[in-house]
Structure 1
């Protein structure tokens, strides 16, 4: 690991904007950078890194990261070559997040830990720097791997309680950048109506996410039927902008370096992102 790991961690800033793969328009990317967010996350399971270039070309200096490249539908050598081409054109701005996804969506799924190790070995051989990659990590073993073989971890669909446990496993100096979903709406029922569907399907039907929630003490009753109100409220911050900001920032006080904010709903994410950041 390079001696400037702290500088790489700092480059993410404390808050990022997490959006679906290919859904951030150039105008939205520019607006997010102008608001003061440190990172734009492109989430999903891309087969190539083309949309990364669109965001990088539209912005000046903001960090851009994948959350995540799925190892089952992308060849490590191909992604490594794409990373190196992007690095040549936009030095220091792109961080490669990778992960094993979930067995329900991948016919070729095998032991995820071993598969991620093999993928990282190829990235090593192709010259992708350790400090320029991240791992999707939920359980202790993958979290430890993220500390040993990358800049750090990008947990998805996790509450601050998980963040606190993850920091204990990672130790100091390792990037911890969880994602958190938000709905800026002061009507709890309306907020849950927006937040519950994208949590329930697919995540409350995927073995790795369910297992992680149960590790944190949630029960089958909490997970069934689209998720209990308590579970949804924990996984999807809602309320006015100040309340949402406080809920998101609970990750930071629990040990995260950065939190990636995913605005749910069909509208333009920029206005709620602005309200949340300005609520400090």
Structure 2
């Protein structure tokens, strides 16, 4: 479990927006400490200004063993030619340490179908001819995927799928579609807060944008949540399914449910951190609980 064509990401990794608010020196110190703790995989989004491939390249340059996964690099942020060229360079410079996670992402585009846009982008990437040297280690590619057709595309045109803000039931459904061999990485938000009212208030603030955007709403409907559960900040059920809150033991037990449902890897996103602050204390706790002791010691 945890591999992409020979890559060993481990069963659990760190997924975070935190680096969007940190200077380069602090990012370097943080990623190096995480590597020392024994984390093998670090997931970064592309949403608030950090460009996906330069961000990945910088973090790779700061580490020796850490795998950096774009979760996701938006297909609208750069042409397929430049994504391909950047992916080749990172594969050559840091063999088997970069995973190019591609996704539709960004704002709603009513006139554009995500599946068609992704197919067109992959077709363009795969048809490219370049004078750039072919790396000895392959470029590793996964797709952000939720619905059956995008999951099938991820299975057929990449190493597998990455899912963001889904419940355990979706993980089981995705595994069935992907089959036994394709990679399945799942992000899940966690919150170290045991008071139900406080925890759900923080979780609702985090989930607000996702509960009010077209494609996420469609995703939640497919997962069986009613209009009433999605509206008005989300019901307790959907909030509790999408944000695992409580003490360390409770959170760890819930994260393992994704693995039992078929995930190869779970990217853990600690929420409730003020902008500019670090989740490092919680990453240390999670590392002690989730990582093999022979590695994290």
**TM (normalized to structure 2)?**
0.85
Structure 1 match to 2:288: 278
CA pair 279-22 structure 1, distance change in 2 beyond 3 A: closer
Aligned CA-pair RMSD = 2.2
1:149 is displaced (CA, Å) by 0.5
Runs of at least 5 residues in structure 2 that lack an aligned partner in the other structure: 291-297
Structure 2 match to 1:188: 196
Aligned residues: 273
Q: Which stretch of structure 1 is more off in the superposition, 71-80 or 140-149?
A: 71-80
Which of 184, 187, 211 aligns to 1:176? It is: 184
Structure 2 match to 1:11: 8
Matched, 1:156 2:153: no
Matched, 1:35 2:18: no
Matched, 1:258 2:265: yes
Residues 170-207 of structure 1 show CA distances to partners (whole Å, capped at 9, x for unaligned) of: 0001100010001112222222222211211x111112
Aligned-partner Cα distance in 2 for 1:268–1:47: 20
Checking the alignment, whether the CA contact within 8 Å between 2:187 and 2:268 is kept in structure 1 is yes
Aligned-partner Cα distance in 2 for 1:215–1:108: 19
Residues 99-134 of structure 1 show CA distances to partners (whole Å, capped at 9, x for unaligned) of: 1125xx155851111110111122223479986101
Structure 2 match to 1:240: 247
CA pair 11-123 structure 1, distance change in 2 beyond 3 A: farther
Matched, 1:229 2:233: no
The structure 1 segments of at least 4 consecutive aligned residues displaced by more than 6 Å after TM superposition are 127-131
Aligned-partner Cα distance in 2 for 1:143–1:236: 23
Q: Which stretch of structure 1 is more off in the superposition, 136-145 or 83-92?
A: 83-92
CA pair 20-33 structure 1, distance change in 2 beyond 3 A: same
